[in-house]
Amino acid sequence: MRESTTVAETDDFAVHAVRCAEHGPGWSEPEPFTGHQVVLVRAGRFRMRSRHGRVVIDRTLGYAQAADEEGQFAHPAGGDVCTAITLSPSLWRRPSGTVRVGARADVAHRLLLRAGPDVTYEAAERLLSLLVHLALDEPGGRRRALVDEAREAITGRHPQAAGLISLARLLEVSPSHLSRTFQRETGMSVTRYRNRIRVARALDRIEQGERDLSGLAADLGFADHAHLTRTVKAETGRPPAALRRLLGQS
């Protein structure tokens, strides 16, 4: 079951918050795409199958779709919360496929969802800021399955995903093969991906008003408060205190 709430809507774009409560490893029936749309995950993850192949969609990887295509979905990890952005052709001229979502795009995504009632200027400006931070991914190859398994283990907090060597052991490959394949397929190292997921979780807590950064660092597996601050700033361009002010006033 899916629930959709309109965040902003004009003749050129529409932003909807979509909550999906579906659960199960099986694939859905093929679903036709109804327009040019970019879908970004706010919480959870799911699997998608389209003409581009099979891929795991999470907070680091969204997808762009075109009106003449279709996709299938599976939710082995439970439901998810996504943002569906419908765009006129003048705003999105890129082909369909997956899109990489960095930490700066994550912040822009959050700010878009917190835009006020001025949809023709404020929401439009925030939407354009988000779009410029999205990078079109390359189509996945045979190595995509290994990378997807690694991503699911990290986002699902599998105990063996606590370290690179134990993660490689879980996936039954060598650490060097996992590192090379992950970098080639995603454009980032396994360490960078893990940090990206941890920063997303930190942003969730900061957006909710968390002020105990030492406790937050411990919860997310950072060495200390300073390590958390350095990592968040490296990924987003802003330290936690500045992000708290930014997300709190939006």
Verify that 39 and 107 share a domain, yes or no. yes
pLDDT tens-digit series, residues 146-186: 999 999 999 999 999 999 999 999 999 999 999 999 998 88
- 235: domain CATH number is 1.10.10.60
142 — pLDDT class (breaks 50, 70, 90): low
Beta sheet of 37-43, edge-to-edge order: 2-9, 13-20, 80-87, 37-43, 61-65, 97-101, 134-136
CB contact at 8 A, 203 and 238: no
Verify that 55 and 152 share a domain, yes or no. no
Verify that 16 and 114 share a domain, yes or no. yes
Q: Of 136, 155, 170, which residue is a domain's last?
A: 136
The answer to pTM > 0.85 is no
Verify that 106 and 165 share a domain, yes or no. no
Instruction: Domain of residue 81: give its range.
Output: 2-136
78 — pLDDT class (breaks 50, 70, 90): confident
